[in-house]
Structure 1
């Protein structure tokens, strides 16, 4: 039996998009982009704005959590928008949290958030089984596609130092050492670090934070990478300021994270795939420059994310729909992930920014 929602969609769009994966339909169906933007504006108009004190009174606080104000602008008022949740599996406890929007700068974040000293609690147990399981399928393909998007930064690593912050099981470090980088990584999951070191030939992974490892804390890195890490940081300004201090003159920081401007977020709401158990902060091309500027970076460049299958030439879409998807993503910055390259200083902009559109942050 066809649901009422699907029947309406067929009446409007016809059945010719039935073979298109749902996650791609918002980019290829005529008018869908505008419908989702209208849906987003209506959500913002209807969501209440309240003081932090009013918000605290109605939201439970977990053992490892704390209430926070906006990390970008300091605004304490809250606009609750989403309530993502998931049931527990195999006897594990389910989870739920609230995502709020800053009414001043538009930043999306989880509130209450995880206290920094309890961040490791999110990665206790056999977290590496997740990193090397279904999540890791085609992960190195994603790395290669993003490295290509920011060429020539990753064309040749010989004689250059690289730090992978949040290196997990070492899937990217394996690629980095393969193109000549003097590479190392850090992670808060001890079993992931163990697996990474078993995988690597020359690169090395360490458990803990950069300041815990003398050879990392000394800095001098040409490249630092954050692959799906930024959303996990409870104090992103503190972390990015420290990472900026670890970069050598002319150095760059690569960021790959979920995109808070995603059309899928606007379509799916609380069910969006970017709202996962361990995600805390949700940036976009509107809010990330503020964070980078405050952390001391000189510029940033963005590369639209069309999807792994699309960029690898494996998408099962007719050419007409493929071109439409690319146009919509580029026009709205509405891809499900965000890719950015931050430049430490003007030397970095001069060295690497030539083929990119660099937004100055000073």
Structure 2
């Protein structure tokens, strides 16, 4: 019997697919223990579950994947990210994400997976939110995250699957940066968030774009093809998913990310099978629109109050 979860499309429930991308050794042919060394590390040898294209909605996803229990254990044992993307580059990138959100907000601020709180810091200095609801499973950075809230009323929670502590229809802005493509059930999470948004409230999502030029150039060496992404999105599939979860006014744009020049050169060399670890390069950052997309969506003014609006629509 397989160690892995076997699932239909997490966006539309259809089981009919077309295979699209696989690693030299397919992850589903290995054991969980054998996959542990490949769980993290951008420049290590590739192992990932075979990606299939859903023939119902077009989502690119893994029909075979880790179950929730094994996934939790893998994340809990994950070493700190020591790649050479500097804190300044990360802060500049996430400041740009907040810049993309237009208008003034009232009510609460909700973020799933805020990490050290770069966008939280922007929200405290440039917004007027009543309360910050921050769902971050890594307790080791909670003190840093709380400091990012700058003394504003803030609740920090570790269970990212349960948003019940947040009052319904209380949030003006919700944020998910590189979180949605890590979730086994993205539709359920988006539906939970919509219930927490005020009518007209905004959801900001950042994900990889599997239809990007970078993905086509890099092929199966594209970094988002990895063990941590059970599904990957493009503008059409994320728009359809948000519609299914009850959102309106979806806008998708390419996001600008800041990368240190040594990181970019190293990644380009790795794609070509070269190593340039010892070559000195200037420590400067470049802002590029490479492979990621930023999505904004709105909770309709007359949003349904039930937790599963797609079921009602199907009846």
- 1:264 positional shift: 1.4
Q: Name 1:68's counterpart in structure 2.
A: 7
Alpha-carbon separation, structure 2, partners of 1:126 and 1:199: 24
Large movers: runs of 4+ above 6 Å: none
- Classify the secondary structure of the residue corresponding to 2:235: coil
Give, in angstroms, the shift of residue 218 of structure 1.
4.5
1:343/1:136 Cα in 2 relative to 1: closer, same or farther (>3 Å)? Answer: farther
1:196 paired to 2:145: yes
Unaligned runs of 5+ residues in structure 2 are 26-35, 40-46, 265-287, 304-315
Of 6, 9, 21, 1:82 maps to 21
RMSD (Å), alpha carbons: 3.3
Shift of 1:198: 5.2
Bigger proportion of residues as helix: 1
Determine the structure 1 residue equivalent to 2:38: 94
Q: Does 1:142 align with 2:93?
A: yes
Matches within 5 A, 1:1-362: 61-62=2-3, 65-84=4-23, 93-95=37-39, 96=47, 97-125=49-77, 129-130=80-81, 134-135=84-85, 137=87, 138-150=89-101, 152-153=102-103, 159-179=106-126, 180-181=128-129, 182-197=131-146, 199-202=148-151, 203-209=154-160, 211=162, 214=165, 216-308=166-258, 335-346=290-301
Residues 182 and 229 in structure 2, CA contact (< 8 A), matched pair in contact too: yes
- Counterparts of 1:306 and 1:197, CA distance in 2: 27
Quote the Cα distance in structure 2 between the aligned partners of 1:75 and 1:161.
Answer: 36
| Secondary structure at the counterpart of residue 287 of structure 1 | helix
Question: Structure 1 CA distance, aligned partners of 2:63 and 2:192?
Answer: 24
Q: Who wins on radius of gyration, i.e. which is larger?
A: 1
Q: 1:147 offset after TM fit, Å?
A: 2.2
Q: 2: CA distance between counterparts of 1:191 and 1:85?
A: 36
Could you tell me which runs of 5 or more consecutive residues in structure 1 were left unpaired when the two chains were aligned: 1-59, 87-91, 310-314, 316-325, 330-334, 349-362
8 Å contact 1:186–1:210 — kept in the other structure? no
Q: 1:198 to 1:307 in 2, by over 3 A?
A: closer
Cα 1:71/1:190, change in 2 over 3 Å:
same
TM-score (norm 1): 0.62
Within 1, Cα distance between the matches of 2:201 and 2:149?
A: 24
Equivalenced residues, count: 257
Secondary structure of 1:211's aligned partner: coil
SS in 2 for 1:341: strand
Contact 2:96 2:256 in 1 (8 A): no
Question: What displacement does 1:338 show?
Answer: 1.1
